[in-house]
Amino acid sequence: MDQFLIEGGKRLYGTVRAQSAKNSVLPLLAACILAEGRVTIREVPPITDVFCMAQILRELGAEVRFEGDCVLVDGSDATEHTVSAVLTKELRSSVFMLGSLLARFRRAAIAYPGGCDIGLRPVDLHLSALAHMGVKTQERDGYIVCTCDDLRGADIGLDFPSVGATENVILAAVLAKGETVLSGAAREPEIVDLQNFLNAMGARVRGAGTDTVVIEGVKRLHGVEYTPVKDRIEAGTYLIACAATGGEIEVEGVEPAHLGFLFHKLRENSCKIHIKNDKIRITSAGRLRCNRKIETMPFPGFPTDLQAQTVALNAAAEGCALIVENLFETRFRYVPELKKMGADIEVNGRSAVVRGQPRLHGASLVCKDLRGGAALVIAALAAEGTSEVVGLAHVDRGYADFEGKLRALGAEVKRVRIR
C-alpha cells in the first residue's frame, strides 16, 4: 500500500497541462467494440480506471494494447457479451458496456456497477430508456441481463439528465434500425466528445451538448484515430489547489467554457483568473473569502466532481459557506477526515455548512473516494505541518502522476510504500 507524505504551507507556481478526460476516455473505450477494424485513442492517461476498462474489453475478446500514450483496440473478434462481476464492481463506467454490447450483439449481461461509494446511482434510467428501443431486462444471480430481438430507434425522454443513461442510449442507437430522438439528455462536454468520436467512425449523431440528441442508425462503423477532450475536473483540481495554497499557476490544454462556474466561484474567493485560448492562469494570495453558496448541478452548472475540492478550499477561508450536493446523496464521506485537520464542517443530508478556520493542521488521512481523496490532498497542501494520506487507489483512478505534477508546481509531496 502507498501513501502520500505532504508537508503543507508551500505556495504553488508554474505550469501544468491537463490530461485527457477520464470521463470521456472510458465511454470512448466502451464504444471501440462497435467498430469494424482498429481504433486508436491518443493521449490516454495512465490511470487505473483506463486499465480496468481495457481488461473488460480483453475479456470480451477484443485485442487491446498500449503504445506510449495511445490505446489500440480491435474488437473485430470479440464474441463475449458478459462483463465479469469482478471487473464490473471495480469500475462504475463499465455500465457503458450495456449500450455497446446491445448494439454489437443484441444482448448484454453486466453485474451491478461499482466504483466510488458516493451514492446509489441506480441504473433504472438506463434500463427504462433502453426498453423503448425493444430491450428486455432481467435480474439473474446479481447480473443485469439485457436482450433484444430487434434493436430499433425510438423517441425517449429522460426524467433526469443522466450522463450515463444519455451515453448508453447513444451507444445503443448508433447501430439500431431507424432514428432515435433522446429528449432531456445530459449536456456535458464528454457527451459532445462521444458524439464526435462516433461520427468519426461513421455514425450519424447530432445535438450533443443540448438537451435533445438525434441518432440515425447505420449498418456499420469503422476504425478511427482520435484524441479525446481534456479533463476539466483535473484542471479544476489544480486551480483549486493553487487557490488554497496561494501562488500562481497556469493550466494548459483545457477548454475554458467547460469551467465557467468554477471561475465565478474562485473569483468570489478573491482569486484572479486570466484566460487566453486554452490557458488558464490563477493568482491567489492564499487567504480567501468563503463562497456564499455552491450548489452542484448538471452541466453547465457547478460540477459535482469538484464539490469536495471546494469544501477543502473553504475550510481555511474567512467566513461561512453553504455547499449543496444535488446529484449524489453520500458525497460528504470525506468530511470526517477534514475535521481531523481542524475543519469546522456540519453536514445535514445533502448540505454542508463550512465555517472557515484561520488554519488547518496536518493529520493522518484516509481517502474514501476519488474526488474526496483529491480534496484531502488539497487540504494537506494548504495546512500547517505534515500529513499522511492513504487510500491512494481511489486517487489513482482519475489522476495520472498526481504527486509528480504537484511537485513540479512546488508542492512538497512524495509517494512512499508502507507495509
- Residues catalogued as catalytic: 116
Residue 92: CB atoms within 10 A of its CB come to: 18
Rounded (5°) CA angle 174-60-400: 85
* The total number of residues written for the chain in this structure: 419
Largest alpha-carbon pair distance within the chain? 64
CA dist 390 and 395 (Å) reads 10
Q: Is 79 exposed, middle or buried (0-12, 13-18, 19+ CB in 10 A)?
A: exposed
CA dist 207 and 29 (Å) reads 21
Q: Which of 24, 17, 18 is nearest to 53 (CA)?
A: 24
Q: Is 405 exposed, middle or buried (0-12, 13-18, 19+ CB in 10 A)?
A: buried
The C-alpha cell at 416 is: 512512499
Give kind and range of the element (H or E) at residue 35: strand 35-36
